[in-house]
Chains A and B, each alone.
Chain A
Amino acid sequence: MAARRKRPRMGVRTIIVAVLTFALLATFVVRLADIQVVRAEALNAEADGRRGVAETLHGTRGPIVDSAGTVLAESVDRWDLTVSPQYTRDLEPGIDAVDEPLTVGDALVQIAGITGDDPHDLQAKIYAELERNPDSDYMMLSNGLDARQYEAVRDLGIPWVYLRLNPQRVYPAGSVGGNLVGFMGTDDPLAGIERSQDSCLAAQPGERTFDRSADGTPIPGSVVTDPAVDGGSVELTIDADVQYQVQQLTAQYTSQLRARSGTSIIMRTDGTVVAIAESPTVDPNDPTASAGRDRGSRAFTSAYEPGSIFKTFSWAAMLDLGLIEPTQEESVPWTYNGNGTRVRDAHSHAVEQWTAAGILVNSSNVGMVELAQQLDRGEYTDYLDRFGFGEQTAVGFAGEQAVPLRDLSAVDPQTQLNALFGQGIAATPIQLASAYQAMGNGGVHEPVQLIAGCTDAEGEVTSPELPEGERVVSEETAQSTLEVLEHVVTDYGYETFPIEGYRIAAKTGTAQMAYADGSGYDPNRMMTSVAGVFPVDDPQFVVLTMFDSPQTNRTSGGAIPAFHDMVNLLIRHYDIPPSTTPASDVPLEWTADQ
């Protein structure tokens, strides 16, 4: 009986305990869900705010190097020295970690001794800031501290000084390639490769979050790192040594000729750039020291009417079309009139009995007009198009000009004639060098290549996408044109031109410069230039050098020694052996007796 009575009571108790347990569990579950799910974000944020620290990890902007790996641009750590003006105070032993009292003045003298500033300036800056805002808690006192200065300032242990990392760009080789490499503004790339290759060079910032203990040490296990991705490295095709020497030669000749500017381009016959020199140049470490117009690369941005060095292309086009033979005999007076057009040679001369080769070597405008009687100007335009005129080169340099090509069959008769010898038609220096490249490459025009590739942080190399090379003229045409141009070097009357033992093809030009307003040619300005290819028996290099408005020698004779020295330099630098074949003997003149 007793057992029967007890049984239901035990059931009730069990139920009560179970219900209570369940209720407790439910409370915990609800609470857990509330903390872990419903308010998780807010609580996490609060917790992070209390202990957590997030710091941005700066990736390093990638370097720019030449073909041999010489660094032309790189990022280095620099520090900004900032202070809290309202807390600048004298330091006392016992309170601060100093052995003897240190006044603000003394501290500033010590800081100035490290940074190279004037301590009075620093003090005046702080006073001025406090005047402006007595509660000011931030002011930059000095910037660009290098690692040694950073450590020296840090070792002073002044509590109101805070050093902030601010990576900067340096250019160890200074203005070597400065016009190509470009430079950075405060944050953004402003010119050159820095700008056009920013997508490769720029780093992706990362973040590191961690909980810290009272003294700032990260608590183990709490560190979450989203690493920064460093920028890629851009490799150029240029050779820094040659670049330096060509720049030096260009600068020396520019100053000797008292020219406004000088530009030289050295290119391999496969279209890769070895050097592009500008004078005046720009030192990317200090771009403001150069005038604004000198900070880009004229080789890409300054189109001009090239003048006689352009004759090579019209002559080669006519030869390729079979309209002329190098030995074709012509009688060339010094003026030409017809159809309301008028063409004159640079100097008056008697009627000369020149061959077609002689016309090109003696750079006769009238002779070119005589040869081009049968030339279809539409076809000529196609040749120029294939030579690369009228469009940007494959480099796509920041600010590069394209100079659209006009259809020469649709222009007035005078311009049709002028275009044969490089007037009434404009081109950039790089377009001209690139067209000479086709002549040196057996008639095949290859795209200009300045950037060899981009190597990203993981070491993956991306080569620039370049268009296919295109045949402009036949191999025979290219070779016989170069053989004719050899005579410009040997027979043009300049002793400073040839280099004995080497077969060099070149064409000089003295181009007239138009007034900026287009009202005709400026008699006081001219562009003297020499463009060439060597060695003729196995072309390897294209050299173009030009000087704007030289004062001490206004003929192309001024640019010839510069061209000679640049070729000389390349022979020395690359140990190019002398030519093994004799120069061509294509006749330049003819006599009625023959």
Chain B
Amino acid sequence: MSNAAVAHIHAAPQQPEPERERHLRALPAPSVRRAPRLVHGVLALAGLAGIVVAQLGLSVVISEGAYTLNALHGESSSLARSEQALGEDVAVLSSPQHVAVAADELGMLAGQPSQFLTLSGEATAGGPDAMHMQVPALDRFGMYVPNALLQTQPQVAASVEHVAEEAIEPYPGMLLPAGEGAPAAASDEQAAGQPEAPAAPEQPEPGTLLPATASE
């Protein structure tokens, strides 16, 4: 300790005393605590109730949504089923067999082959000659290229039956081509409505090259 400090202590012994005494200091006067206001309680409870109601509402909406979703799923799969059914119909109707039979029915013929202009410009070069095989897609034994799905198409089924009936009109003393079964057996086949495999041994006019004439 320096002399100056000692002198200081001795010189003024009284002054710092009251400050050192103040260990405890009075706090500023606390604000008076009142009982919670009613409005706060009401607000809190109302908030709580609001949350509960909102949650309830939300879950109602969600479960409502679940039912709507389920119903829409049902509708969607029902529509998908109709789409598929219609698509199947279209696929069968656009099959080559159906197109061929329907075209025959309408009396349509194969178009002419394209003609080609030669570069010299003097003439058109014709396409190919006629086909040797000129028979309809459908004969009395059914289609040459069968399609079981077409049996469900009433129009085609009618055509098949019509062709089969037209081909065989039995009469007493009817002379059948060699190898042909009895007409009764043939009409049984029609009744069954089973288009026979095209390579069935029975075929008209053995030995003819061009059955186009045979079918007339």
A residues with a Cβ closer than 8 A to B are: 71, 74, 76-77, 146-148, 150-151, 170-176, 217-220, 240-241, 244-245, 247-249, 251-256, 258-262, 279-281, 283, 285-286, 289-290, 294, 496, 499-502, 551-553, 561-562, 564-565, 567-569, 571-572, 575, 577-578
Of B27-35, B160-168, B193-201, the segment with at least 4 beta carbons within 8 Å of chain A is B193-201
Closest to B93 in A: A172
B209: which A residues are within 8 A, CB to CB? 256, 496, 553, 561
Chain A, Cβ-Cβ closest to B198:
A251
Q: A218-B70, A244-B145, A252-B133 are in contact. Are A146 and B88 (CB under 8 A)?
A: yes
**Closest chain B CB from A491 CB (angstroms):** 18
Given A172-B91, A569-B131: 20 more A-B contacts, CB < 8 Å: A76-B88, A148-B85, A172-B149, A173-B95, A174-B145, A174-B146, A174-B148, A175-B146, A219-B66, A247-B145, A252-B198, A254-B198, A283-B147, A286-B148, A289-B197, A561-B133, A568-B128, A568-B129, A572-B110, A577-B116
Which A residues touch B197, using CB under 8 A?
280-281, 289-290, 294
When the two chains form their complex, are residues B81 and A147 in contact, meaning their CB atoms are under 8 A apart?
A: yes
Q: Are A255 and B200 in contact (CB under 8 A)?
A: yes
Closest to B70 in A: A217
Nearest-Cβ distance from residue B153 to partner chain A, whole angstroms: 12
Please tell me if B190 contacts chain A, counting CB pairs below 8 Å.
no
13 A-B residue contacts at CB 8 Å? Answer: A150-B81, A170-B88, A175-B147, A219-B66, A220-B62, A244-B97, A254-B198, A255-B200, A281-B198, A285-B148, A289-B194, A501-B128, A578-B125
Asked whether any CB of chain A lies closer than 8 Å to the CB of B137, the reply is: yes
Whether B147 contacts A285 by the Cβ 8 Å rule is: yes
Q: Tell whether B172 is near chain A: CB-to-CB under 8 Å.
A: no
Question: Closest Cβ of chain B: how far from A248's Cβ, in Å?
Answer: 5
CA distance A279 to B203 in the complex (A): 14
Q: Is the CB of A501 within 8 A of B125?
A: yes
Once the chains bind, are A255 and B203 in contact (CB under 8 Å)? Answer: yes
Chain A residues with Cβ under 8 A from B55's Cβ? none
Candidates A172, A258, A575; contact of B114 at CB < 8 Å: A575
Once the chains bind, are B95 and A571 in contact (CB under 8 Å)? Answer: no
* Pair A251/B95 contact, Cβ less than 8 Å: no
Nearest Cβ on chain A to B104's Cβ, whole angstroms: 12
What's the nearest-Cβ distance from chain B to residue A87, in Å? 25
Residues of the B chain whose Cβ atoms lie less than 8 Å from the Cβ of A294: 197
The B contact surface, by secondary structure, is loop
* B170 at interface, CB cutoff 8 A: no
Q: How far is the CA of A244 from the CA of B150 in the complex (A)?
A: 15
* Shortest distance from the beta carbon of A186 to any chain B beta carbon, whole Å: 17
**Residue contact B97 to A174, C-beta cutoff 8 Å:** yes
Over the window 124-144 of chain B, the binary record of Cβ atoms lying under 8 Å from chain A Cβ atoms (1 yes, 0 no) is 011111111101010000001
Q: Is the CB of B208 within 8 A of A283?
A: no
- Chain B residues proximal to chain A, CB less than 8 Å: 62-63, 65-67, 70, 78, 81-82, 84-85, 88, 91-92, 94-97, 100, 110, 113-114, 116, 125-133, 135, 137, 144-150, 194, 197-201, 203, 206-209, 211
CA distance A176 to B91 in the complex (A): 13
A497 vs B131: C-alpha distance when bound (angstroms): 11
Given A175-B145, A218-B70, residue A564 in contact with residue B88 (CB < 8 A): no
Chain A residues closer than 8 Å to B203, beta-carbon distance: 255-256, 258
Which residues of B have CB within 8 Å of A551? 206
Contact partners of B66 in chain A: CB under 8 A: 217-220
A76, A241, A502: the one contacting B96 at CB < 8 Å is A241
B95 contacts A174, C-beta separation under 8 Å: yes
Give the distance in Å from the alpha carbon of A496 to the alpha carbon of B88 in the complex. 42
A567 vs B128: C-alpha distance when bound (angstroms): 9
Per the bound structure, the CA–CA distance linking A219 and B149 in Å amounts to 42
Task: Say yes or no: A170-B211 contact (C-beta < 8 A), given A150-B81, A255-B198, A565-B131.
Answer: no
A-side contacts of B132, CB under 8 Å: 496, 561, 564-565
Complexed CA–CA distance, A290 and B211 (Å): 25
Contacts A218-B70, A220-B66 given; indicate if A280 touches B199 (C-beta within 8 A).
yes
- Chain A residues near B208: list those with CB within 8 A: 256
- Specify which chain B residues have a CB less than 8 angstroms from the CB of A496 in the assembled complex: 132, 209
What's the Cα separation between A283 and B147 when bound, in Å? 6
Q: Which residues of B contact A77 (CB under 8 A)?
A: 81, 84
Q: In this complex, what residue of B is CB-closest to A172?
A: B91
**A174 → chain B closest CB, angstroms:** 2
Residues of B near A248 (CB, < 8 A) are 100, 137, 144-145
